[in-house]
Amino acid sequence: MFWKSTYNEFIKIAAKPRSYIGLAAITALVSVILFAMKVDGLTYISFITASFEQTLSFEGNVLNGNLMAFIILQTLIIQIPLLVALVTGDLVSGEADMGSLRMLATKPISRTQLLLSKFLAGNAYTLLILVWLGVMALGFGRLLFGDGDMMILKSDGLVILKSDDVMWRFLSGFAIAFLALVTIANLSVTLSCFTDNSIGPIVTTMAIIILFTIIGTLDVPVFDPVRPLLFTTHMAAWRSFFDDPVPIRDIVNSIVVLVVHNVILLSIALFKFNKKDILS
């Protein structure tokens, strides 16, 4: 029954027009960035390498697809959660709002299975969004700008990665970015269990992300103990794969924090959904 219900969720997501907003937005945003870089990319490169021009000279295809993908991911990783929450925040509350949740809940499927199927479908949609972002950023980026060694400007220096040393970093980076986005998807599904309003969980998810991001970036000592525990702090963990050497310890720590968040969110959602009086 769980897999049948999950299949139902896939059909519903595929049929909803809003599910395509995310894919369309990624296509548009990445296209705009790639176009801008194609037209004016060298100016951008000159700007970021200005402080090194006295000591280093850069040769070869500096403005390559690998760098493009990195720039795009860094730029869009803040916007992607909104696109994910737009669909996942609606999975329970949207059905409650529409009344179809009432019809689903009278079927011989346990509420736990029903909710887990929604979580799974939401996570699959998140994966689709991220894969599309990867195809657009890395695939089209490399198609338009070609391959090459990757040059990344960090706060403490410049990291140069050989072209044959990049792909595994992207794949690992996407994996941990997926975990971070799944946390946001699961947060919005959990919030969705608390209301019959379709928009509320989406807005609340974004509000939480903004609040946590502000807390995470504010350089105020009072937030120091809290900062490592916020999931938003670990949303940028994918970038760690582009450090040399890769800080495995920090990455493992981020994975643990994100997994714990997901377990807690899932537990809250299951408890609430199983106790929920369906009145809509």
Partner 1 sequence: MSERIIEVKHLSKQFGRFTAVEDVSFDVYRGDVFGFLGPNGAGKSTTIRAMLSLITPTSGEINLFGKSLQANRSHILAKIGCIVEKPDFYKYLSAEKNLEIFARISGSAVSKSKIHEMIEFVGLKGREKDKVGHFSHGMKQRLGIAQTILHDPDLIILDEPNTGLDPQGSIDIRNLILKLKNEQNKTILLSSHILSEIEIIANRMVIIAKGNSIVQGNVAELLNSQDLIVYFEVDQPEKASHIISEDLSADIIGDIEKNIIQLHIAHQDIPRINSLLTENGLNVYGIESKRKLEDYFLKLVGKDVLEKHV
CA distance 53 to 156: 16
Locate 160 and state its tokens: 């140069």
- Contact region for partner 1 (CB under 8 A) — 15-23, 58-66, 217-225, 243-251? 15-23
What DSSP designation does 245 have? S
Among 21, 78, 82, 105, which residue interacts with partner 1 (rule: CB under 8 A)?
Answer: 105
- Contact region for partner 1 (CB under 8 A) — 6-14, 34-42, 142-150, 244-252? 6-14
Nearest to 73 by CA among 9, 12, 30: 30
Asked if 278 touches partner 1 (CB under 8 A), the answer is yes
CA distance 28 to 91: 25
CB of 111 to partner 1, least distance (A): 9
CB of 14 to partner 1, least distance (A): 10
Locate 253 and state its tokens: 């720590």
Among 109, 120, 144, 158, which residue interacts with partner 1 (rule: CB under 8 A)?
Answer: 109
Asked if 154 touches partner 1 (CB under 8 A), the answer is no
Asked if 279 touches partner 1 (CB under 8 A), the answer is yes
Peptide bond into 17 cis (omega under 30): no
CB of 94 to partner 1, least distance (A): 10
Q: Are the CB atoms for 87 and 16 separated by under 8 Å?
A: yes
CB of 194 to partner 1, least distance (A): 16
Asked if 12 touches partner 1 (CB under 8 A), the answer is yes
CA distance 22 to 160: 32
Residues numbered 45 to 104 that lie near partner 1 (CB under 8 A) are 98-100, 102-104
CB of 101 to partner 1, least distance (A): 9
Size of the site for partner 1 (CB under 8 A): 26
Q: Are the CB atoms for 147 and 65 separated by under 8 Å?
A: yes
CA distance 88 to 262: 14
Helices (H) and strands (E) in the chain, counts: 11, 2
The residues binding partner 1 (CB under 8 A) are 1, 4-5, 7-8, 11-12, 15-17, 98-100, 102-110, 275, 277-279
